[in-house]
Amino acid sequence: MPLTREDVAGIADYARIALTPEELDEMTAYMNDAIDLLEPIRAYDLEGVEPTFHPIGDLSNVMADDVPDTEVRHLPVDVALKNAAASRDRSFRVPSILGDQGGDR
């Protein structure tokens, strides 16, 4: 069943991408075209086939030592903030989150 305009509006809301009504129409058409392209995946019988999430062969257990780096990768606060559109008191600044619902952790 193809995605409806409302379905796509819900996804856009989740993905935090505001779409105009015209964009929503185009996006709905695109999404359904793209999903059609994916049909071969659903035609398979994949019983017992392990997924490959990482194309890295047997590589596993990659870890780093618990040793502080305060020089090489550390960013001074002015560099950390230099690409931010809004900052204050050494911090990144955002407007009120009133009306937002943050996720739980």
Partner 1 sequence: MANFDQLSAREIAAGVANGDFTAVEVARAALDAVEARDGEVKAFLQVSADLALAAAEATDKARAAGEKLGPLAGVPVAFKDNMHLVGTRTTCASRMLANYESTFTATCVQRMLDAGATPVGKTNMDEFAFGSSTESSAFHPTANPWDTERVPGGSSGGSAAAVAAGEVTVSLGSDTGGSIRQPASLCGVVGLKPTYGAVSRYGVVAFGSSLDQVGPFGRSVEDVALAMNALTAGGRDPWDSTSQPVDVDFLAHLNDPVEGRRVGVVPALMEAAGLTDEVRDAVAAAGRALRDQGAELVEVDLPNIASAIAAYYVIAPCEAFSNLARFDGVRYGYQERGCATLAEQTSLSRAHGFGEEAKRRQMLGAYLLSSGTYDKYYYPAQQVRTLITADYARAYEKCDVILMPAAPRTAFKFGEMSDPTQMYASDLFTISNNIVGNGGVSVPLGLGAQSGLPVSAQLQGPAFADASLLTFARAIERSFSPDGGAPVAPAFAGKGGELA
Partner 2 sequence: MKKLAEVLRDWEAVIGLEVHTELTALETKMFCNCRLSHDDEPNTNVCPVCLGMPGALPVPNERAIESIVMAGLATNCEIQRHSMFYRKHYFYPDMAKNFQTTQGPVAFCMHGHLDLEVSGAGAKERPDGTVEKDADGTYVAPIRILRIHMEEDAAKMVHVGGEEGRITAATESLIDYNRCGTPLIELVTEPDLRTPEEARLFMEKLRQTFLTLGISDCSLENGSMRCDGNISLRRRGSTEFGTKTEMKNINSFKSLHDALEYEICRQAEVLEEGGIVYQETRHWEPSRRRTVVMRVKETADDYRLFPDPDLAPFDLTDEFVERCRARIPELPDAKRDRYMADLGLKRADAAQLAGDPAVAAFFEDALAAAGEKSAETVTKVMVNLVPSYDALTPAQVASLSALLAEDAITFAQAREVLDAVNGTGEDPAAYVDAHGMRQSTDEGALGAIVDEVLGRCTDQVQQYRDGNKKVLGFLVGQCMKAAKGSGNPKAFNKMLAERLEA
- Could you say which DSSP state residue 88 is in? E
Task: Show the site string, 40-59: x = touches partner 1 by CB under 8 A, - = not.
Answer: xxx-x-x--xxxxxxxxx-x
Residue 99 binds partner 1, judged by CB under 8 A: yes
The separation between CA 25 and the C-alpha centre of its own chain, rounded to angstroms, equals: 22
CB closer to partner 2, 20 vs 101: 101
Footprint of partner 2 (CB under 8 A) = 14, 16, 53-54, 56, 59-70, 73-75, 77, 80-81, 88-98, 100-105
Is residue 87 within 8 A of residue 81, CB to CB? The reply is yes
- Could you say which DSSP state residue 100 is in? -
